[in-house]
Structure 1
Amino acid sequence: MKRRGRLRAGYYADVVVFDPATIANHATFEQPHQYATGVSHVIVNGALVLKDGEHNSATPGRVLRGPGWRGVTPR
């Protein structure tokens, strides 16, 4: 992948800023879309999407699917 793997101007970068003393996952099978605590900032492709723990509804990323992806099977 070109322009990845470094924090450099013009490169794509995903960065998560977190506190290792307070980070915790709260997702369950019943409620899988819960935010983790202890995460203060998230940058996706150079765009700030989580600031001070609040999501700003930005969606700068895209899904990359590998050869093993099978999609969602309807129930």
Structure 2
Amino acid sequence: DEDVERIMRYPFNMFASDASIRVYNQGVPHPRGYGTNARVLGRYVREKQVISLEEAIRRMTSLPAAKFQLKDRGLLKEGLVADIVIFDPETVVDASTYEQPHQFSKGFQYVLVNGQVTIDNGVHIGTRAGMAIRKNAN
């Protein structure tokens, strides 16, 4: 964990998972496939205070969008794609384990992907609004 915390302090380190895309409730994915960002927010921001909440959000949003030249994403700004997550920083936690990997993280009240609600009041409603994106698409 010390190595993770040391690397996490580098200002240009982005958070991501190497988990592959899967059909929900099939196969045996690594828990990171469901809980990477929740773990960062719950464990390393709230509990261990390795970095600030604002810095963690920057590394999950605007930093990767800029790095990968996704010009219509990464910021809350009129005219950009509405990828929005509303969560409670006091309760967000990853719930996925090796024994039960298909567990959604807790503490996320609403998620919009491409402007469409996918999590409504903490419940995944089955909307599939994601799509492949490429740099310089817009």
TM-score (norm 1): 0.69
- State the shift of 1:62 in Å: 2.3
Q: Does 1:25 align with 2:94?
A: yes
Counterpart residue type for residue 7 of structure 1: L
Question: Whole-Å Cα distance in 1 between the matches of residues 95 and 115 of structure 2?
Answer: 26
Q: Which has the higher strand share?
A: 1
- State the shift of 1:10 in Å: 4.1
Q: Which ranges of structure 2 fall in alignment gaps of 5 or more residues?
A: 1-69, 134-138
RMSD value over aligned CA atoms? 2.1
Q: Which ranges of structure 1 fall in alignment gaps of 5 or more residues?
A: 65-75
* Count of residue pairs brought into register by the alignment: 65
Which among 34, 52, 55 is matched to residue 103 of structure 2?
34
Q: Equivalent pairs: percent with the same residue?
A: 41
Q: Which has the higher helix share?
A: 2
Aligned pairs for 1:1-75 within 5 A: 1-63=70-132
TM-score (norm 2): 0.41
